[in-house]
Amino acid sequence: MAPVVSVGSLASYVTGLSRALQRKGNLVEVILPKFSYFSRASLDYIVKSGKQPDVLHIHNWQTAIIGPLFWDIFVNQGLGGTRILFSCHGFSSQCLEHPDKLALCGLDPPRLHRPDRLQDNIKTHLGGVVYSNKVMVVSAIHSKDRIIRSFSHGLESTLAIHREKLLVTPYGFDDTVWDPSKDKFLPAKYSVDDTNGKAVCKAALRKQLGFSGNGSSIVVGCIYSEVSDVDLENLKAAVWLALRKGAQDENVRFVKKYNEALSHLVLAGSDIILCPSFHDPLLQVPRNDPSRWIRKIKDGMSKDFSWDAECYDIHAAAYMSIKNL
């Protein structure tokens, strides 16, 4: 899908997971509907084409409305054996709408106006949770209980009711794209067994960004797939504070554009990558211990974070469990 329709973490998730499923011999088809009207149209297409998928995997608020559409309208149109899995990358963007708008895509607002369905202003995430057979929350660091308690954004009671549906999965790493041992964008390749190419990538990154000074200084990179003006201003403020306190030299660069090759070089050439979706670790005191640092790097590189490992296993188990319901 990249780069034509690939935007943000959801695109990477759909692409990486779909490829992993296909490599394991599963038939995968991707439909990209634009909000509720085309979500309805996608279900019409599935019925009229005679397809009978085992699982409809819907994502975030953009296609969560497929849950109520499926069970209220389409399940008796030849899709009795199909089940719904709803995956969510966060509950903060809930797409609040007036309930009367449900009628625009064929649903019956009065019938859905119940506490256990879609009462009050419609939160499309709510429909995804209530009307799915399983809910997959994408998080590498938070437990199910913590997500319900601290990151539900007003959906705590609903998530608590449907707690047994909830599964937590880490985000996958697409090693067909981002593996430094075979990355076509890099000036030199490297791996856990031979890291010499890392220095070449770092030097190329410094040169491309116009960094001056000692090439042995630590380079910290951060790649945003989606960044608002507020995020950018907050990041700039943090850098200026670091400059005033002497914790940062003049070698700071902001690149506000899509540049696939530079993204690969930043990831491969940086000594440290800041992940904006993670919370800062607590009580972690920096140490001047190069040998321990190298061991940690090699330990991380030796683990399999690809979609074919734990991520695939969790999703495959979820598909099988709801298929047999």
pLDDT in tens, 84-119: 999 988 776 655 566 666 666 777 666 666 665 565
Q: Are strands 96-97 and 122-123 parallel, antiparallel or unpaired?
A: antiparallel
- Name the fold adopted by 177-302: Rossmann fold (3.40.50)
* The predicted structure's pLDDT at residue 267: 92
Question: Where does the chain have alpha helices with state H?
Answer: 8-23, 35-48, 60-63, 66-69, 109-112, 124-130, 144-150, 156-161, 175-178, 196-209, 229-244, 260-269, 290-302, 312-323
Are 229 and 256 in contact, with CB atoms under 8 Å apart? no
Question: Would you state the structure tokens that stand for residue 198, as one six-digit string?
Answer: 């890392």
Length of the chain counted residue by residue: 325
pLDDT reported for residue 188: 97
- Give ∠ CA 139-141-142 in degrees, rounded to 5: 75
Mean pLDDT of 53-73: 90
Percent of the chain whose predicted confidence (pLDDT) is above 90: 32
Tokens of 4: 């034509």
pLDDT tens for each residue of 235-259: 788 888 888 887 777 788 888 887 8
CATH topology of domain 8-174+308-323: Rossmann fold (3.40.50)
Which of the listed ranges 95-99, 119-123, 127-131, 283-287 does the model predict with the highest average pLDDT? 127-131
CA nearest to 8, candidates 235, 166, 171? 171
Range of lowest pLDDT (10-19, 23-32, 45-54, 260-269) = 10-19
Cα gap 64→95, rounded to integer Å: 10
Question: Which residues have C-beta within 8 Å of that of residue 191, sequence separation ≥ 6?
Answer: 180, 181, 301
Report pLDDT digits (tens) over 184-197.
999 999 999 999 99
pLDDT, tens digit (0-9, with 9 covering 90-100), for 43-58: 999 999 999 999 999 9
Phi/psi zone of residue 196: left (φ > 0), alpha (ψ -120 to 50 degrees), beta?
alpha
Distance of CA 72 to the CA centre of its chain: 29
- Could you give the C-alpha distances from 250 to 40, 77, 125, 141, 263, in angstroms and in order? 53, 64, 44, 33, 21
Angle between helix axes 260-269 and 196-209 (nearest 10 degrees) is 130
Angle at 142 between CA 137 and CA 148, to 5 degrees: 65
Question: Which part of the chain is CATH 3.40.50.2000?
Answer: 8-174+308-323, 177-302
Q: Residue 203 corresponds to which tokens in the numbers above?
A: 């030097």
pLDDT at 152: 61
Distance CA 311, CA 20 (A): 9
For residues 189 and 179, the answer to whether their CB atoms sit within 8 Å is no
User: Is residue 83 within a helix (H) or strand (E), and if so which, with residue range?
Assistant: strand 83-88
Cα 297 from Cα 304, distance rounded (Å): 13
Per-residue pLDDT averaged across 149-172, rounded? 78
Residue-level pLDDT at 25? 94
Judging by beta carbons within 10 Å of its beta carbon (0-12, 13-18, 19+), is residue 126 exposed, middle or buried? buried
Closest CA to 102 of 115, 119, 86, 88: 119
- Tell me which residue of 149, 134, 172 sits closest to 322, measured CA to CA: 134
